[in-house]
A and B are shown apart, each in its own frame.
Chain A
Amino acid sequence: MSARNNASLKAAEMRRMKGTLSLLFFAILIGLSVWFVEMDIFELVQSIPLFFQFLFTDFFPPNITDLGTYLGPVVDTLIFAVVTTCLSSFLGIVIGFCMAHNTTPHSSVRLFLRGVIAFLRNIPFLVWASILVVIFGVGTMPGLFALVLFGTSFLSRVYAESIEELNKDGMEALDACGASYFQKIKHGIIPQFLPSFYSWTLFMFEINIRASAILGLVGAGGMGSILKQTMDLFQYGKTSTVIAIMVILILMVEYVTNRVRERLI
């Protein structure tokens, strides 16, 4: 009895020591990082009220004189998001089926696609967008391609993951019946996979709305370009109107996708 007590005490002590050590490690890490960027914590704390003062004096009241001219970019953003989500979900399905280990035609295809997709996904899409701006010039085209690139890499990964997580019994039964590859996909995979397909695709639509709102910052069209324009001209009243429109748009889209999701699943 006492031996067991001793052991559990020791374990508790070990755990406490581990906790202290990791806290110490974190403290050192914080100290080092503050030292590295030569940042003054007090200055940061002081700048917070400055930031709020700026936010409330310069951004309010919102200037709504040009409200009509913002309508075009808002519609553009929506159109952008619809087109890029459809394109990237189509490409994502094809690549996702080739990437999941239970539906891949060949394991070398799977490995190759995994590498390419990991590379595309891990570079932030604003970097892709600005490279594409260099290649295609300013306009809607680089933004469109950047979103498709980003969306395809994200969707093919999550599609492949959800295909791999599916129940294997149905596939086995179809195998036993002698079903061909496409028959197996049609009857064994797709019915099970559809709920996660809907949910991820709708999620992608939300992400794309946000993304196309900031794409304009690198000169790739959409709402971000007015945002940048008004900020560069110090017309912060107009900026706050644009931000308010953006917030309303994003919240509305979130609401609609949630309703659709509830209906479908």
Chain B
Amino acid sequence: MSKSQMPIPETLLMKESMLTKKKIPIAHKQTKRQQQYFFTTVGILFIVCLLQIDISFSQFQEGVARIPSVLSMMLQMSFTEFPGLASEMVVSLVTAFLSLVLSIVFAVVLAFLAARNTTPNRHIGMLLRFLFMIIRAIPATVWVLIAVASIGFGTMAGVLGLIFPTCSYLVKSFSAQIEEVGQETIEALQSVGATWWHIVFRGLIPTLLTSFLAITAFRFEMNVAESVILGMVGAGGIGLLIQGYISFYEFSSLSLGILMVFITMFLLEFMTTQIRRRMSN
């Protein structure tokens, strides 16, 4: 006979029911209030905004009805366009790589001028940080559009357009690293009378090299994604072909292009994760 089948005295039963009713709040009161505040605000905002968007249900229905035919066309993958796609994929990779290399050259110099603790002049540092904040706020695609408008279609416009967002991203991350890690090194070197050049080239660059490389590897991944997009606005690379397939309804080649982009991006992600893991060890 198990314990649960034993008759329970009435007094105990009473107590148990009382226990289950009484709840002891253990959550931090202020945090809880903040959470409620946040979620209510977001909920109200969401509903208000949802009512503002006009989505026609018929358009949705038509679109959903079109999905199976588009999918079946995409599943009949054709490999006839493979050589062209492969060479354009390499063009995309090269665009990303070259713009990254050029940006590193600018960014390393500018990061030391912009970081709060290594800038030779406080006003120059502030001006540079403000300038790069604005450059970073403009999306990369818009930069490339401007480059295409100024020097014409082609790979060069892609490289030139990508330099600006890449450079501003690198300057921001590099100078954040310098500000975070550099203070002790700078003080130690200053106390033995090192000049600015000594501090930068003997003190900071050797210590920060690995973290700079990790940032660069991460940015390369982002740059490849950008350069795939860039083709769609007219700056060479695989995006140009993909945009062409989409506008001429060549879904069998389109799916091959998408698959190639996926494989490339997947391998890149894998590689950069490996690099970062190795660097952190």
Contacts and interface: CB of A to CB of B under 8 A. Distances in A.
B63 A50 contact: no
Which residue, A59, A130, A250, has most C-beta atoms of chain B within 10 A? A130
Contacts of A37: 91, 94-95, 98, 155, 236
B149 A39 contact: no
Given A123-B262, A144-B55, A36 B150 contact: no
Interface string A53-94: 011001100000000000000000011101100100000000
Interface in B72-113: 90-91, 94-95, 97-98, 101
A227 interface: yes
B142 interface: yes
B5 interface: no
A135 B55 CA distance: 15
A127 B49 contact: no
In the A-B complex, the 3 residue pairs with the closest CB atoms: A54-B150, A136-B63, A122-B265
Contacts of B38: 198, 260, 264
Interface string A178-217: 0000000000000100100010000000000010011001
Interface of B: 27, 34-35, 38, 42, 45-46, 49-50, 52-56, 59-60, 62-63, 66-67, 70, 90-91, 94-95, 97-98, 101, 133-134, 137-139, 141-142, 145-147, 149-151, 155-156, 159-160, 225-226, 228-229, 232-233, 236, 239, 242-243, 246, 249, 254, 258, 261-262, 265-266, 269
B229 A126 contact: yes
A228 B146 CA distance: 11
Overall SS of chain A's interface:
helix
Contact of B137 (A33, A141, A250): A250
Contact of A30 (B49, B98, B160): B98
B101 A48 contact: no
B156 A44 contact: yes
A136 B160 CA distance: 34
A9 interface: no
Contact of B49 (A82, A126, A136, A198): A82
A51 interface: yes
A29 interface: yes
Contacts of A127: 228-229, 232, 239, 242, 258, 261
Contacts of A122: 261-262, 265-266, 269
A218 interface: yes
Overall SS of chain B's interface:
helix
Given A51-B151, A124-B228, A34 B141 contact: no
A21 interface: no
Nearest to A249: B137
A137 B59 contact: yes
Given A51-B146, A122-B261, A124-B228, 7 more contacts: A82-B45, A136-B63, A140-B53, A214-B141, A217-B141, A231-B149, A247-B134
Contacts of B233: 217
Contacts of B142: 213-214, 227, 243, 246
Contacts of A58: 150
A173 interface: no
B138 A231 contact: no
Contact of B145 (A86, A227, A246): A227
Contacts of A131: 70, 246, 254
A260 B146 CA distance: 34
Contacts of B269: 122
Given A30-B101, A39-B98, A130-B246, A236 B149 contact: yes
